[in-house]
Amino acid sequence: MALPFPTRSAEAAAALIGNGNVIGLSGFTPAGAPKAIPHALAARANAEHAAGRPFKVSILSGSSTGKSVDSELACADALDFRAPYQANADLRDSIHRGATRFVDMNLSQVPSATRQGWFGALDWAILEASHVTPSGEIVPTSGVGAAQTYARLAGRVLIELNARHPAALRGLHDIAELAEPPHRREVPIFTPSDRIGTPVLRVDPAKIAGIVLTDCDDEMYPFEAPQPVNLAIGARVAEFLVSELKRGAIPAEFLPVQAGIGDVANAVLLSLGGHAEIPNFSLYAEVIQSTAIQLLKSGRITFASGSALTVVPEVLRQIYAELDFFRTRLVLRPQEISNCNEVIRRLGVIAINTALEFDLCGNVNSTHVLGTSLVNGVGGSGDFAQNAFLSIFTCPSESKDRHISRIVPLVSHTDHTEHSVHVVVTEHGLADLRGKTPRERAELIIDRCAHPDYRPLLREYLKLSATGQTPQTLRAAFAMHEAFRVSGDMRKATFS
């Protein structure tokens, strides 16, 4: 079949991109992210540097990407600026060394921030597609992200037409872009299955500089099989939601669920799907993971809305083999819709996200070790936590063979304040913080969530503050973190 635009090699496409250019990428997580052109761009950066010439670009994406973007470009010292999220060790190293400037953002805000010029003018958009028409209609692949916004704003567009994704994907996506205030209107989504846009991205054909033919899987890393500690957390979340159902706090037909990305999120979904007293439910989330696909097939999840199919290639092939089944049960949207505050509140989403640590008042750190070292980013957890019907945060009570308590007097970095955190859960128990004072929260968290090894230490800290609304003592608030930094064991902390 003849293609409507000239084909180029990945190397020829990369040669069009200049030093200092700003590039927007399609996709959300590695799903739907371009691969061939970024790989060639890293090779070009290495060649330019070897010749003594500067070469760096700025990359905007939906969230994280795959190794061909974040790893290869970071290793080639080709990333000047990166936003809004990352999950790659090589890029983290580049950020921590100061070689790459990084901005962490709530993912719903990225398209609007781009339209408002936060990152300057976009020189290029690089989009992965399953089909392209002469009029500039582009059928995305397994992830959407902010692709429509980047494609509309970019000066020129390059397309990776990936044969791993069939043209029959047309109809799986619901593409809409919000207007900026004061012209923004309501987002008329009243159930997760509602559609408000078109099945394709639309690009001015005059901006398309070429098509690169590819045939490669999404660079998705597999998640571990659910571990006992994560299953215990999932079971506690499920039992809590059942108790809320029984007392009428959750309607009998249940509410849509959002679960973050990763092993704990998968375990929570498994627990919800496996609990006989939880009705069949829908998903309104940013990512649709493998566990959600299993529950869709079993009928426990009735419909799933997200921005990406964040699944390993084998699972994606299964979805494509049963596309007629999944077409009526899945929709992929731009991230400003999948993470839309208005819609999350209207639907009454139950948001379940993962913490790195939380403190005695219920503040959550999702992103930084010891307050300085970035792990991933806030992602979409803030979008959902701040607007959820129920905002639940989960994490194991300890790590590194109990040398670290994940419950601390004061978080070393704050991503979610106590005002957006309703419930915290570890394998030891669950603390419902709603309607509780800071001191009442602290006592609940110690008694129900902390690891037994750390309860005496945390109670000792709590006794230091006898007055005031919030039980914190500045001279001792980070003593546990400092003990770990010095000795490698938080249990050695002293508050004197």
Q: What are phi and psi of 469, to 5 degrees?
A: -70, -40
Is the sign of the CA dihedral 281, 172, 108, 24 positive or negative? positive
Distance CA 98, CA 181 (A): 35
Of 286, 357, 398, 418, catalytic: 286
Q: Is 286 designated active site?
A: yes
Distance CA 38, CA 67 (A): 9
Burial of 43 (0-12, 13-18, 19+ CB in 10 A): middle
Tell which residue, 408, 484, 417, has the closest CA to residue 451. 408
Q: What are phi and psi of 138, to 5 degrees?
A: -125, 125
Question: Do residues 244 and 250 lie in contact, with contact meaning Cβ atoms separated by under 8 Å?
Answer: yes
User: For 57, what's the count of Cα atoms within 13 Å in the CB-facing half-sphere?
Assistant: 30
Distance CA 394, CA 427 (A): 9
Residue type, 476: A
Residues 6 or more apart whose Cβ sits within 8 Å of residue 239: 275
Catalytic positions are 286
